[in-house]
Structure 1
Amino acid sequence: MAHLRKRGQNSWQICIEKGRDPITGKRNRIYKTVNGTKKEAEKEMHKLAHEVETGAYIEPSEMTVKEFLLQWFEDYCESNLAPSTLESYEIIIKSHLIPALGDIKVSDLEPMHIKRYQTHKLKNGRRDGKEGGLSKRTVQYHHRVLSKALKHAVKWRIIDNNPAEVIEAPSPDTPEIKALTHDQTKRLLNVAKDWIHDIIYIALYTGMRRSEVLALRWQDIDFKEQKLQVKQAVTNPVGKGLIFRKPKTDSSIRPIDVDEDIIEILKRRKKEQQENQLKFGDKYNNEYNLVFCKPTGEPMRPQTVTRNFNRVAKKAELSQFRLHDLRHTHATLMLQAGVHPKIVQERLGHSTISQTLDTYSHVIPSMQKEAVQKLKNSLENK
């Protein structure tokens, strides 16, 4: 049986009778307060009564957003996400979502809470001490993480609906793909020295990601056939040290043909490692058989490589470029040279050719102009 009682201006209390407790004999009642007109309250009352009758009703949870997110991170994220994804989820959850929404009960979380969170993050969401907000793309990612978590809350019958589903995430602007010119690549390589030069060179000429270059092993190199095999990647999650594992997509596991210049660089690195092994003796330990490691054989941290690249870029007056832009440069220069997009896709490890074309669409117009000119030259020569 359901009852509706007026509590105040546009405020109503719904009471659903669930019978008596078989042990204590006390009446079991469900109460819910709603705002709106009487007609709207009656509609909500009938909906609630139907849920109780059919067994679809979920008791409001006392669990807070903080408690749920930490539980979800432990029960789902840690066993299902790749290390790099896990690291980004942990930062978003612990540094952003929990401080802003953590004290709210999961059952009380409303779409408006989420909308306010987005607005706040876009205006002044930075946590590095600097003024300003986060980018639309970053806030969109926050929304994706929260919505994914709340979907599990629905599956686990903690809440009956996902409030994030009715809120649109910010639409990010199309990111600008930065690629170095031929002259800029020469300038960068001229400034770089020693191991950072070799990493920059290999990244430029293979399109490999930082995580892939640092996980490259000697057994992944075929010196005779001049070919590299990308079989693993390295990440450095907060507080968990370096983790080597397979790339998160099958397409990222790939062969990459290289030329004699890269082979010579690799031979030089091999010789240097052998010299370091003699120099450090028992202190030398390259247990992962890595191509790029510290002089003592220990793995290099990705952050160390990025810092050294930034110093080189600054010295070359190319501070506007990131280490990852070497990958964009590889793809852009290959496409501009007339290399088929399918080959570029395979070298980058993209899952589909459309991903490659969408990412580097800025190159396509110039390719079309060149194609028209080539066709004209071909016809006129005949």
Structure 2
Amino acid sequence: MAEQTNKIRNCFERYLTECEYSKKLRPKTMIGYREVLNNFLNLIPEVETPEDIKPFMVSEFFKRLGERAKGNGIELKVSTIRTYYNKLMVFFRWLEEHDYIEKYSLSKKIVKPPNPTYEDEKALNESEVSKIISAIALNNSEDEFMYKRDLVIVSILLYTGIRRGELLGLRTYDIDFEERTLFINGKTSKSRKSRFIPLHYSLLMNLKSYLKLCKKRRLKCEHLIVSSRQDRAFTDHGLKHWVDKYIRLSGVKFHIHRFRHTFACTLAKQNADIISIMNVLGHSSTLMTERYLRSIKSENSRLFIEKLSY
């Protein structure tokens, strides 16, 4: 019975139960952990109990993972390796803390993979933003409500930098027109922290115009972003379809998170301090915020350099 209790998959299920009910991790996060461990156990079948895990097996796992990806015509990214490593290490430390394996037998001996380096620009430039907005206008030239709704979606993303889940979780009462703020409920946030975001004047005007049409339609759904056909909340599937549609119509390859990078970089270029950017994005440290600012190149300092005087 004791041997059965220590089976690695049983341990992992207990770990996920703790994550769900004690740590209150989001379902998507837990799906990610489950995917990583299943891949690890499928590619390293010799591991049946926690005691079977040896430090060298993690490197072997990444080797086999890379070979499998190559066989499918895919290159295993450094960022993917680092993501897998982070998730595995969290579970391994949990095994150590709960005495399933000797303390530090894994966490101090496994070689950490390098941090990924990013050369690609994540932020959208002015031309790309213009093309997306133009596509919205042209696609909805005969449907005022859809034009206003889609414009509000883009405006919220550009002027607040909120995440996909935060956007879909917005309620109409989260907008305070008097204080000019948008409330982000921690229940919809990756960081689990609630925060208020100051609202730009253009976004305020777009919100007022959109909500006026919602009232005219007598919509009762409390969600801010609603379905195009029914009086109900816009879904994650609907948002994916929305992105695919405007990629096709605008010719700009983008995803929701690129707007978040755009917002952060634009603030930085306007001389916003990193603490303010961190707080409005809902980050817990400036290290994550700095990753969002990688699209700012040295050329952007030209204006400031030219103003120098000694």
* TM-score, length-scaled by structure 2: 0.81
**CA deviation vs aligned residue, 1:16-71 (integer Å, no higher than 9, x gap):** xxxxxxxxxxxxxxxxxxxxxxxxxxxxxxxxxxxxxxxxxxx9877332232223
Q: Distance in 1 between matches of 2:62 and 2:223?
A: 42
Tell me whether 1:138 sits opposite 2:138 in the alignment.
Answer: no
Partner of 1:117: 61
8 Å contact from structure 2 (residues 174, 183) kept in 1: yes
User: How far did residue 188 of structure 1 move?
Assistant: 0.7
**Does the residue aligned with 1:187 lie in a helix, a strand or coil?**
helix
Q: Distance in 2 between matches of 1:152 and 1:345?
A: 29
Partner of 1:347: 280
8 Å contact from structure 1 (residues 231, 247) kept in 2: yes
**CA deviation vs aligned residue, 1:263-289 (integer Å, no higher than 9, x gap):** 2322233234334446xxxxx6x3xx2
8 Å contact from structure 1 (residues 78, 86) kept in 2: no
User: How far did residue 340 of structure 1 move?
Assistant: 4.1
In structure 2, do the counterparts of structure 1 residues 355 and 340 end up closer, same or farther at CA, with 3 Å as the change threshold?
A: same
User: Which blocks of at least 5 consecutive residues in structure 2 are unaligned?
Assistant: 141-145
User: How far did residue 354 of structure 1 move?
Assistant: 5.2
Q: Distance in 1 between matches of 2:128 and 2:295?
A: 19
Tell me whether 1:160 sits opposite 2:102 in the alignment.
Answer: yes
In structure 2, do the counterparts of structure 1 residues 91 and 312 end up closer, same or farther at CA, with 3 Å as the change threshold?
A: same
In structure 2, do the counterparts of structure 1 residues 268 and 277 end up closer, same or farther at CA, with 3 Å as the change threshold?
A: same
Tell me whether 1:209 sits opposite 2:176 in the alignment.
Answer: no
Tell me whether 1:305 sits opposite 2:239 in the alignment.
Answer: yes
8 Å contact from structure 1 (residues 60, 158) kept in 2: no
8 Å contact from structure 2 (residues 265, 292) kept in 1: no
Q: Distance in 1 between matches of 2:160 and 2:133?
A: 15
Report 1:1-382 matches (<5 A).
63-83=6-26, 84-94=28-38, 96-101=39-44, 104-125=48-69, 130-161=72-103, 162-163=105-106, 165-175=108-118, 176-192=120-136, 193=140, 194=146, 195-232=149-186, 245=187, 247-249=189-191, 253-277=194-218, 286=221, 289-294=222-227, 295-319=229-253, 321-353=254-286, 355-363=288-296, 365-376=298-309
User: How far did residue 78 of structure 1 move?
Assistant: 4.8
In structure 2, do the counterparts of structure 1 residues 156 and 134 end up closer, same or farther at CA, with 3 Å as the change threshold?
A: same
User: How far did residue 367 of structure 1 move?
Assistant: 4.9
User: How far did residue 153 of structure 1 move?
Assistant: 2.0
User: How far did residue 318 of structure 1 move?
Assistant: 1.1
**Does the residue aligned with 2:224 lie in a helix, a strand or coil?**
coil
Q: Which has the higher strand share?
A: 1
Q: Distance in 1 between matches of 2:4 and 2:58?
A: 19
* TM-score, length-scaled by structure 1: 0.67
8 Å contact from structure 1 (residues 121, 139) kept in 2: no
In structure 2, do the counterparts of structure 1 residues 246 and 301 end up closer, same or farther at CA, with 3 Å as the change threshold?
A: closer
**Does the residue aligned with 1:180 lie in a helix, a strand or coil?**
coil
Q: Distance in 1 between matches of 2:276 and 2:53?
A: 48
The amino acid of 1:185's aligned partner reads: V
The amino acid of 1:100's aligned partner reads: L
Moved more, 267-276 or 185-194: 267-276
User: How far did residue 77 of structure 1 move?
Assistant: 4.7
In structure 2, do the counterparts of structure 1 residues 119 and 370 end up closer, same or farther at CA, with 3 Å as the change threshold?
A: same
The amino acid of 2:293's aligned partner reads: Y
Q: Distance in 1 between matches of 2:158 and 2:249?
A: 18
User: Which blocks of at least 5 consecutive residues in structure 1 are unaligned?
Assistant: 1-58, 233-244, 279-283
**Does the residue aligned with 2:183 lie in a helix, a strand or coil?**
strand
- Please give the root-mean-square deviation of Cα atoms over the aligned residues, in Å: 3.0
8 Å contact from structure 1 (residues 217, 291) kept in 2: yes
The amino acid of 2:151's aligned partner reads: H
Q: Distance in 2 between matches of 1:110 and 1:61?
A: 20
Q: Which has the higher helix share?
A: 2
The amino acid of 2:211's aligned partner reads: K
Q: Distance in 1 between matches of 2:184 and 2:278?
A: 14
User: How far did residue 336 of structure 1 move?
Assistant: 2.6
Q: Distance in 1 between matches of 2:179 and 2:19?
A: 43
Moved more, 75-84 or 59-68: 59-68
Q: Distance in 1 between matches of 2:107 and 2:3?
A: 18
User: How far did residue 125 of structure 1 move?
Assistant: 4.1
| Larger RCO, structures 1/2 (Cα 8 Å, 6+ apart) | 2
**Does the residue aligned with 2:196 lie in a helix, a strand or coil?**
strand
8 Å contact from structure 1 (residues 218, 291) kept in 2: yes
